Protein backbone atom coordinates (compact mmCIF):
# COMPACT_ATOMS: atom_id res chain seq x y z
CA UNK A 1 0.00 0.00 0.00
CA UNK A 2 1.56 3.32 -1.05
CA UNK A 3 2.24 5.96 1.53
CA UNK A 4 0.62 9.39 1.26
CA UNK A 5 3.09 12.03 0.17
CA UNK A 6 2.59 15.08 2.44
CA UNK A 7 5.63 17.06 1.33
CA UNK A 8 3.57 19.53 -0.73
CA UNK A 9 0.96 20.23 1.94
CA UNK A 10 2.71 23.19 3.60
CA UNK A 11 3.14 24.90 0.23
CA UNK A 12 -0.51 24.24 -0.65
CA UNK A 13 -1.77 25.52 2.68
CA UNK A 14 0.41 28.65 2.59
CA UNK A 15 -0.61 29.48 -0.98
CA UNK A 16 -4.27 29.03 -0.05
CA UNK A 17 -3.91 31.37 2.93
CA UNK A 18 -2.10 33.98 0.83
CA UNK A 19 -4.74 33.76 -1.90
CA UNK A 20 -7.56 34.23 0.61
CA UNK A 21 -5.75 37.16 2.21
CA UNK A 22 -5.26 38.88 -1.16
CA UNK A 23 -8.86 38.27 -2.18
CA UNK A 24 -10.19 39.74 1.06
CA UNK A 25 -7.89 42.74 0.74
CA UNK A 26 -9.12 43.39 -2.78
CA UNK A 27 -12.73 43.05 -1.71
CA UNK A 28 -12.30 45.43 1.21
CA UNK A 29 -10.35 47.97 -0.86
CA UNK A 30 -13.19 48.23 -3.39
CA UNK A 31 -15.77 49.03 -0.70
CA UNK A 32 -16.81 52.69 -0.53
CA UNK A 33 -17.23 54.12 2.94
CA UNK A 34 -19.25 57.26 3.62
CA UNK A 35 -17.09 60.05 4.98
CA UNK A 36 -19.77 61.99 6.85
CA UNK A 37 -22.93 60.04 7.54
CA UNK A 38 -25.82 62.44 8.01
CA UNK A 39 -29.11 61.55 9.69
CA UNK A 40 -32.13 61.32 7.47
CA UNK A 41 -34.71 64.05 7.86
CA UNK A 42 -38.07 62.45 8.45
CA UNK A 43 -41.12 64.53 7.74
CA UNK A 44 -43.81 63.93 10.31
CA UNK A 45 -47.29 63.86 8.87
CA UNK A 46 -50.08 65.08 11.10
CA UNK A 47 -53.04 62.77 10.91
CA UNK A 48 -56.37 64.20 11.95
CA UNK A 49 -58.37 61.73 13.95
CA UNK A 50 -61.97 62.37 15.01
CA UNK A 51 -61.10 61.81 18.67
CA UNK A 52 -58.47 64.57 18.58
CA UNK A 53 -61.08 67.22 17.72
CA UNK A 54 -63.04 67.05 20.95
CA UNK A 55 -61.91 66.52 24.52
CA UNK A 56 -62.85 63.20 26.03
CA UNK A 57 -62.41 61.99 29.56
CA UNK A 58 -61.56 58.37 30.31
CA UNK A 59 -62.87 56.95 33.56
CA UNK A 60 -60.73 54.28 35.09
CA UNK A 61 -61.95 52.15 38.00
CA UNK A 62 -59.11 53.41 40.19
CA UNK A 63 -59.84 57.05 39.42
CA UNK A 64 -63.47 56.92 40.60
CA UNK A 65 -64.22 58.75 43.85
CA UNK A 66 -64.30 56.72 47.04
CA UNK A 67 -67.67 56.29 48.84
Q: Which of 33, 34, 16, 36 is nearest to 24 (CA)?
A: 16
- Residue 3 domain-assigned (yes or no): no
- Residue 65 domain-assigned (yes or no): no
Average pLDDT, integer, range 30-50: 75
Domain with 43, as residue range(s), is 8-59
- Residue 41 domain-assigned (yes or no): yes
- Residue 43 domain-assigned (yes or no): yes
pLDDT digits (tens, 9 = 90+) for 2-36: 788 878 889 999 999 999 999 999 999 988 877 78
How many domains in the chain?
1
- Residue 1 domain-assigned (yes or no): no
The whole-angstrom separation of Cα 65 and Cα 12 is 85
More confident residue, 39 or 19: 19
Amino acid sequence: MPQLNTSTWPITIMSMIMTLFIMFQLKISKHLYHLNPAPLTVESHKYTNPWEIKWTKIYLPLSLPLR
